[in-house]
Amino acid sequence: MNAPTPFSRVPQQVAFDRKELGVILSLYGRMVAAGEWRDYGISCLRELAVFSVFRHTAEHPLYRIEKRPKLRHKQGMYAVVGMDGRILKRGADLKTVLAVLEKKLIRAVT
């Protein structure tokens, strides 16, 4: 086992960067305006970052947008997970993954 060097950087937690948050919050704002979502929470953990969206504050999240960098080269590091734990969409591009929620926005507006 190799000893860590002072220059090796092991992240203590995974987080969304500014660009990723911009994409997510843009969708979030449109869903709030449509009356579908009302609250959100962000969790930055060792293995993943999670953006959870809620209809009401005191309930389970409707959707979780997850970022798992370890899956970058396998299934893609982004995923949208439903309330029941099913993965609705997974991939390497955040905007493409969030498209599954954009369809729900279109249905909510019409």
- What's the rounded Cα separation, in Å, for the pair 49 and 65? 8
**Total of domains in the chain:** 1
Confidence of residue 107 (pLDDT cuts 50, 70, 90): low
Full-model pTM = 0.80
Q: Is residue 5 part of a domain?
A: no
Q: Is residue 3 part of a domain?
A: no
Q: What is the per-residue pLDDT across 53-94, written as a single tens digit (0 to 9) for each?
A: 998 766 788 999 999 888 888 888 999 999 888 999 999 999
Q: Which of 71, 78, 82, 81 is nearest to 97 (CA)?
A: 78
Q: Is residue 26 part of a domain?
A: yes
Positive or negative, the CA dihedral 77, 78, 83, 84 is negative
Q: Is residue 8 part of a domain?
A: no
Question: Which structural domain range is residue 64 located in?
Answer: 18-109
Q: Is residue 10 part of a domain?
A: no
What single DSSP character describes residue 69? G
Confidence at residue 11, expressed as pLDDT on a 0 to 100 scale: 60
Phi, psi of 57 (to 5 degrees): -60, -40
Q: How many residues comprise the chain?
A: 110
**pLDDT surpassing 70 at residue 8:** no
Q: Is residue 42 part of a domain?
A: yes
- What's the rounded Cα separation, in Å, for the pair 15 and 11? 10
Confidence at residue 104, expressed as pLDDT on a 0 to 100 scale: 66
